[in-house]
Amino acid sequence: MVATMRLGLSEEDLYLFNQGTAYHSYRFMGAHPMTVSGKQGVRFAVWAPNATEVRVIGEFNEWNGKSHRMKKHGTTGIHVLFIPELRPGELYKYELVTENGEVARKSDPYAFYSERRPGTASIVVDNDGYTWDDAAWMEQKKTKSPYDRPLLIYEAHAGSWKTKGKEHYYTYEELAEDLVPYVAGLGYTHIELMPLAEHPLDQSWGYQVTGFYSPTSRYGTPLQFKKLVDACHRNSIGVILDWVPGHFCKDDHGLRLFDGTPLYEGADSNRAELPLWGTLAFDYSRHEVWSFLISNAIYWMDVFHIDGLRVDAVANMINLHMDKPAHMRTFNAHGGRDNLDALRFLKRLNETVFHYYPDTLMLAEDSSAWPAVTSPTYLGGLGFNFKWNMGWMNDTLRYMSLHPSDRPHHHHLITFSIWYAFSENYVLPLSHDEVVHGKHSLLDKMPGTYEEKFAQLRLFYGYWMTHPGKKLLFMGSEWGQFDEWKDQDMLDWMVLEYDSHRSMLEYVKTLNHTYRKLPSLWERDRDPECFGWIDVNNAAQSVITYIRYGYESCSVIVINFSNQNYPNYRIGMPEPGRYAVVINSSARQFGGNGGSEEVCCITEDVAWHGRDQSISIELPPLTFLLLTPLPGDTL
């Protein structure tokens, strides 16, 4: 015990790790520069309970660990060694001798920095010493509830937003200089970065991880990543990181059979194997896996000031049968398909995150119908504070892909989502998953001529922005990227040489800033009283009209999904008075043909849609209109 304490490891730390409650295990696991008995060096700690011997190897010993054998601490399964004179920057691995005498060379599960692929060594790094300049951001986010404020997320893939050439990526610092002001100027509140934990295969986009604690070296160092997050915060942009606690890849240097036995994965291969992805599921029944994963979530917030995690593939975590052929399906203790251990893990994860960081965003990417995903755990929920609304996304994109002449027969696809819009705290995602693998870009999903595609994408964005729920848009969609996302190449920035794409970018910028400026579009997102239909049943003309209510304001939305012009379209209004046309998606400045040039509408004493007052407007084809009452006239 004395020797362990001398190396900065307490008995309590090790006990809690084995109990699954060491929520800051990165502070004592892995490689840590430190001074012991007056000597500078690095202390290594790794969990490998079934290895007969563990050695530290690296360039410092010519990758021969015979002189650097680690000492196993009691029954904890944790092996420890202090090596004097080592410094940050050293490459290392663990060499493990298994119970059957085989030797495996593994990267450190707690590596804080990793060799750039195809190299697989871990790198000693000192994660302390950076002086943050985001105190104002960190303080102000404690004062605001995420539910009743605008949340407008720009999803980006760091390796293809912009590049300098094939595999010549922008560094984290260069993204801070270019990406951050771009996103801030467009009016987004947050950037969501696709997974940045170290991964061997570019084409996995970061969703098949080997280094859960290591920001990928493709784009630079952990210090540079801190500078990117800091720059975001100084520009009032929050940072959400895609996080993948559901599975890991099988590469030999990673977690698979780490000490020669199934350690991070379960022993039952039918449960561990995920054949659709070619990966392995974590064993959520294992306490040490809880310490590893929950600590990892805390790590990104503690060390890198990350503002939230989008938790990937929740449905796969909680459903033992998801994407499994019949012969691989396993059952829980009650004979059901629910992964009871994963459900317990997710609840503990969210409880722990919100205990330490109550202002954090925890977003579930969940395609299941599991109830109460965003309800507190003490009420039986999973404890997330937001969930992606996959049903809304699937229905609306299917509707928008229809020719306008077919839309009257499928009107429910654009209206049904309101029935469940308040059952969870939703984010409406238009993510990378919808613009790859033959699904077409958002612009190319729209039917019709070149001009009609742009018109329909504009009206669709208007519908999306005014529908209850927070917003997420994938990079390139803001200007109408025509091709699918190509993860090996940068976005098609050259299309901004064309008026149609420049006008789309101007439209999205206007829409974003208008959303943020109008509390009626976000401050009561969880309240069913924030939404009211004016006319939900006009399937014949493919027009919907509705109201969004704030606490002291309202907005009226009119959307014509048909390709017909309605010169005298009458709409019942919530209150008498004058209404300004704040956004007309057919305006020439946005690339439209002008259509109606009305900028103000005055109600008449004509009862319509069950209301005493109404307006009559020209409603151009494929058009979104946003109207707000002029001050002093109505609500």
Catalytic residues, by residue number, are 312, 365
Q: How far apart, in Å, are the Cα atoms of 548 and each of 26, 133, 272, 557?
A: 46, 38, 46, 8
Given a contact cutoff of 8 angstroms between Cβ atoms, the answer to whether 513 and 522 are in contact is: no
Which pairing describes strands 152-156 and 190-193: parallel, antiparallel, or unpaired? Answer: parallel
Q: Name the residue type at position 214.
A: S
Residue 604 has which token pair?
A: 């008449």
How many angstroms separate the CA atoms of 533 and 233, rounded?
38
Tokens 């960081």 — which residue?
357
How many angstroms separate the CA atoms of 450 and 77, rounded?
63
Closest CA to 466 of 630, 582, 598: 582
Residue 210 has which token pair?
A: 């080997």
Q: How many whole angstroms from its chain centre is CA 524?
A: 22
How many angstroms separate the CA atoms of 356 and 144, rounded?
17
How many angstroms separate the CA atoms of 365 and 429, rounded?
9
CB atoms within 10 A of CB 457: 24
Given a contact cutoff of 8 angstroms between Cβ atoms, the answer to whether 565 and 558 are in contact is: no
How many angstroms separate the CA atoms of 612 and 234, rounded?
49
Given a contact cutoff of 8 angstroms between Cβ atoms, the answer to whether 596 and 571 are in contact is: no
77-86 as b/e, with b when 16 or more CB fall inside 10 Å? bbbbbbbeeb
Dihedral (CA of 84, 88, 90, 91) sign: positive
Residue 489 has which token pair?
A: 């190449």
Given a contact cutoff of 8 angstroms between Cβ atoms, the answer to whether 423 and 386 are in contact is: no
Phi/psi at 103 (5° precision): -115, 130
How many angstroms separate the CA atoms of 495 and 132, rounded?
37
CA within 13 Å, CB half, 426: 25
CA angle 387, 389, 394 (to 5 degrees): 155
Closest CA to 245 of 296, 320, 206: 296
Assess whether the previous peptide bond of 118 is cis (omega < 30° from 0): yes
Name 561's Cβ contacts closer than 8 Å, sequence gap at least 6: 399, 404, 407, 414, 459, 542, 543, 544, 622
Q: How many H helices and E strands in the chain?
A: 14, 29
Q: Is 228 helix (H, G, I), strand (E, B) or coil?
A: helix
Closest CA to 42 of 34, 52, 50, 30: 34
CA within 13 Å, CB half, 468: 30
